[in-house]
Amino acid sequence: MLRKGFATLLEKKFLVTSAQYSKKLSISSPLEPEGPSIKTTVPGPKTKKLLKELSALQQADSVQLFADYDKSIGNYFVDADGNTFLDAFTQISSVPLGYNHPELLTTFDDKHNLRELINRPALGVFPAQNWPDRLKNVLMSVAPNGVNGIATMMCGSCSNENAYKTVMMWYRNKQRGGNVDFTPEELATCMLNQQPGSPNLSILSFKGGFHGRTFGALSTTRSKPIHKLDCPAFDWPVAPFPRYKYPLDQHVSENQQEDAKCLEQVADVIEKYNKNGNPVAGVIVEPIQSEGGDHEASPEFFQKLQKICQSKGVALIIDEVQTGCGPTGKMWCYEHFNLPCPPDVVTFSKKMLTGGFYFNTEFRPPQAYRVFNTWMGDPGKLILLERVLKVIKSQNLLNVVNETGKTLKDGLLELEKEFPHLINSVRGRGTFLSFNAPTTDCRDKINADLKKNGILSGTCGEIAIRLRPALIFQPKHAGIYLDILRKTLKNVN
């Protein structure tokens, strides 16, 4: 229905058939409005009514707006009240090609694709005959260099969760010297959650890191107390992540010292946990620490972190759940770091549409059923991802990200000069950008006013506003964003 409506509308407006449209396709839809339009108070009356209905069923205080996904198009999100927003946040950074992209709208018109969608397999036992090809052609076509194993999962949290298990099994396997037989004691004690079957092993994460909300992942999440309160957690180590001063080129030596201080603590805390009988099997790190406040670290920081991990026999897990699939101008953000060796594990979700992780073959557990569940992902998502990757390639979207990112960053730096009392510390790569406000209250006010003025943007950490647009966000959208931000800042008192 939707696609038919979409094609008809398109044909009426531009006198082209949908087939011609696909061929001529511009980066974002010609059906996109010229800019945002806000017709009601935000949230509007319909949104308020729906929120009341939803709140009767569940805790819904996090809900900002109800969407009209029939009307949302390209970079524009339309809400239930008919307000149109330029979307610079895209569902917490998880929409690669904007709304109702024609390449995705037609995906399940193909009956074969539809059958794959509705006959969802238990991938660990009855995958479709094309599954090896699909993994090769889709996920392995963008695999991090030098990394040759892949596991699909459902979401970011469970990708990290299963990456941790994989790393723990690798670590224990090394300790056993590759002997795949478990002892009777191990087999008996694991059923009682006791050692040695359930060993003390740990994953180091960074202060301010976010890696998900399932139990194992939650023990490594360290961004906000509200995520963790009331849930038992593992005694796992934490180390500081750099907090840089901006602009970077004026604070080189301070920031280098910050790197050194953090890395020293990483090495120390690994030693401490190793000595205290809770050895560190893996380190997990975001290439740009996102939920915690968009904190960057230098390529040198990551190179040295990898060295420490290697020297201590610890696996390095790079969490690309938020940074992966292009928003930093490279497929994977860690590619900016020139690591001398591939990372051991790279986890993903969000814009990749499926969760999962890449791993080096040495991390493959020797026995079946060790990293496993019923669905282990969803072939339907890979069918969509195949099309997303095709569009990224055919439309050079990584170049678009870099070009738009430059427009945005230059504009933000201008605004920083114009409103130094309101914004500072502009930072990031590609369109994965952010800036700080002086206080949390001021940040929240700017973000709320942006929404009233037709921009969806996000916050992170204590004082940051972050941009997370789709890969089809172009310089013209950056211009609209910057104009509205300027107008918003002018009126913040």
Residues with catalytic function = 210, 319, 350, 374
CA distances from 262 to 26, 203, 266, 394, 413 (A): 45, 17, 6, 41, 28
259 binds ligand PSZ (CB under 6 A): no
**Smallest gap, in angstroms, from Cβ of residue 284 to ligand PSZ?**
9
Site membership for ligand PSZ, residue 205 (CB under 6 A): no
In this chain, which of 9, 19, 60, 92 binds ligand PSZ, going by CB under 6 A? 92
Stretch that binds ligand PSZ, among 42-50, 130-138, 204-212, 414-422 (CB under 6 A): 204-212
Asked if 223 interacts with ligand PSZ (CB under 6 A), we say no
Of 411 and 428, the one with the shorter C-beta distance to ligand PSZ is: 428
The correct pick among 101, 134, 211, 451 for binding ligand PSZ (CB under 6 A) is 211
Give least dist CB 210 to ligand PSZ, A. Answer: 5
Residues in contact with ligand PSZ, shown as a per-residue x/- string from 121 to 160 under the rule CB under 6 A: ----------------------------------xxx--x
* By the rule CB under 6 A, 213 interacts with ligand PSZ: yes
Q: Which of 210, 301, 348, 419 binds ligand PSZ (CB under 6 A)?
A: 210
Binding residues for ligand PSZ, how many (CB under 6 A)?
16
Cα separation, 157 vs 91, in Å, equals 16
Least gap, CB of 471 to ligand PSZ (angstroms): 17
Contact (CB, 8 A) for 222 and 205: yes
| Residue 429: CB minimum distance to ligand PSZ, A | 15
User: Using CB under 6 A as the criterion, what x/- string covers residues 324-363 for binding ligand PSZ?
Assistant: -------------------------x--------------
Give the nearest distance from C-beta 239 to ligand PSZ in angstroms. Answer: 17
What is the gyration radius of the CA atoms in the chain, in angstroms?
23
Cβ atoms of 151 and 206 closer than 8 Å: no
Position 46, amino acid: K
Selected from 29, 72, 290, 474, the binder of ligand PSZ by CB under 6 A is 290
Ramachandran bin of 74, using left for φ above 0, alpha for ψ from -120 to 50, beta for the remaining angles: left
Q: Which amino acid is at 56?
A: A
Determine how β-strand 432-436 pairs with β-strand 464-467.
antiparallel
Residue 396's identity, in one-letter code, is N
Residues with Cβ within 8 Å of residue 220, at least 6 apart in sequence: 160, 164, 203, 205, 209, 211, 236, 284
- Tokens at 57, concatenated: 């069923």
For the record, the structure tokens of 302 come out as 């990551």
- Rounded to an integer, what distance in angstroms lies between the CA atom of residue 172 and that of residue 360? 16
Distance CA 184, CA 344 (A): 31
Q: Are 102 and 25 in contact (CB under 8 A)?
A: yes
The residue type found at 443 is R
For ligand PSZ, the binding residue among 43, 96, 98, 212 (CB under 6 A) is: 212
Nearest approach in angstroms of CB 221 to ligand PSZ is 8
DSSP 181: P
Of the pair 351, 488, the CB lying nearest ligand PSZ is at: 351
Residues within the interface to ligand PSZ (CB under 6 A): 92, 155-157, 160, 210-213, 286, 290-291, 319, 321-322, 349
